[in-house]
A and B are shown apart, each in its own frame.
Chain A
């Protein structure tokens, strides 16, 4: 066989491998972007509910509830608010809690269920949340969060001093991007969000 022809076949083989690699990389990049967009959309729904609830701590149409924050920790917060804006002025007990219950309907082993419980009625949020940390501050703009745990009874005065609440939330996509065979080559797209709330009703604390 002609040596030139063999050389051309070899080059053609390299080119085909190259094209396949480029195509795979482009496809992976597009998948990453799509997954990120999907994940952001899922998380934005959670953020919307959080940013509705937390600033309304202690909210009521006429008078403040006797207790604003019932109990807090780095993984949960429990507070009173007339969250449904009911005309009768009844306040609800709202609890946000990041649990150790794994989300079962995703392929990601790192995501856990975030619960929003209103007067005992629980809603499960399974949007790929991998961590959800609450920090509490007794001064506006402080860089030093309160040391945990600050449970209700012995440190009640500390709870009543809280003026700012910071939430740090990380999430990952429910399905992995595969960069090879086996679960070790799976990569989940990460996204993080943090926000420090200054509920108006805590400003006199």
Chain B
């Protein structure tokens, strides 16, 4: 029995070391995951800001394009959505043309980000079907590399634009 004592002690030590290694590897894996997620999430925020900036550079409504102002505000505003022939970002000329827009952006890190945008009229803290002087843009971005419980994480960004703040 004396000869086996050292072996038993060694086996116990190996079990302890194995647990140490497993926990250490888990910590390293979490660190790596956090590093990558942080980098990708920064890029997602930048992409959302790109769309917000871009949508601010066009007019609030189709009826206010070319410097016009409708007689009735907000009744004279157009319906949400792109007009005829407005099927690309370069042809969008007002804020709500981005409604329904979907696109896959390949960033400089060669990672694809799926973008979808919806625009609605907004009033009293909620989206509304009736016309108002506020519009809310919701930008939703996902990436196959950012997952949680097996599903892609959804990153949503809201931007509210006012006709009077133009």
Contact = CB atoms under 8 A, between A and B. Distances in A.
Interface of A: 2, 4-5, 7-8, 11-12, 15, 18-19, 22-23, 25-26, 29-30, 32-33, 36, 40, 51, 55, 139-142, 163-164, 168, 191-200, 202-203
B108 A8 contact: no
Interface of B: 3, 6-7, 9-10, 13-14, 17, 20-21, 24, 27-28, 31-32, 34-35, 38-39, 42-43, 46, 49-50, 53-54, 56-58, 88-90, 92, 107-109
Would you call the interface of chain A mostly helix, strand, loop, or mixed?
helix
Contacts of B43: 192-194
A193 B46 contact: yes
B109 A8 contact: no
Contacts of B24: 22-23, 25-26
A4 B39 CA distance: 52
Given A25-B24, A192-B108, A192-B109, A141 B54 contact: yes
Contacts of A51: 49
Given A55-B53, A163-B57, A141 B32 contact: no
Contact of A196 (B3, B10, B20, B50): B50
B57 A202 contact: yes
Contacts of B6: 4-5, 7-8
Would you call the interface of chain B mostly helix, strand, loop, or mixed?
helix
Contacts of B58: 140, 203
Nearest to A36: B35
A4 B1 CA distance: 12
Nearest to B16: A15
A204 to B, nearest CB: 9
Contacts of A2: 3
A192 B39 contact: yes
* Nearest 4 A/B pairs, CB to CB: A141-B89, A139-B90, A203-B57, A198-B57
Contact of B35 (A5, A8, A25, A33): A33
A19 B34 contact: no
Nearest to A196: B50
A195 B49 contact: yes
With a 10 A CB-CB cut-off, give which of B24, B53, B107 has the most chain A CB atoms: B53
A55 B88 CA distance: 23
A22 B21 contact: yes
A141 B87 CA distance: 12
Contacts of B31: 29-30, 32-33
A30 B50 CA distance: 33
With a 10 A CB-CB cut-off, give which of A19, A29, A191, A199 has the most chain B CB atoms: A29
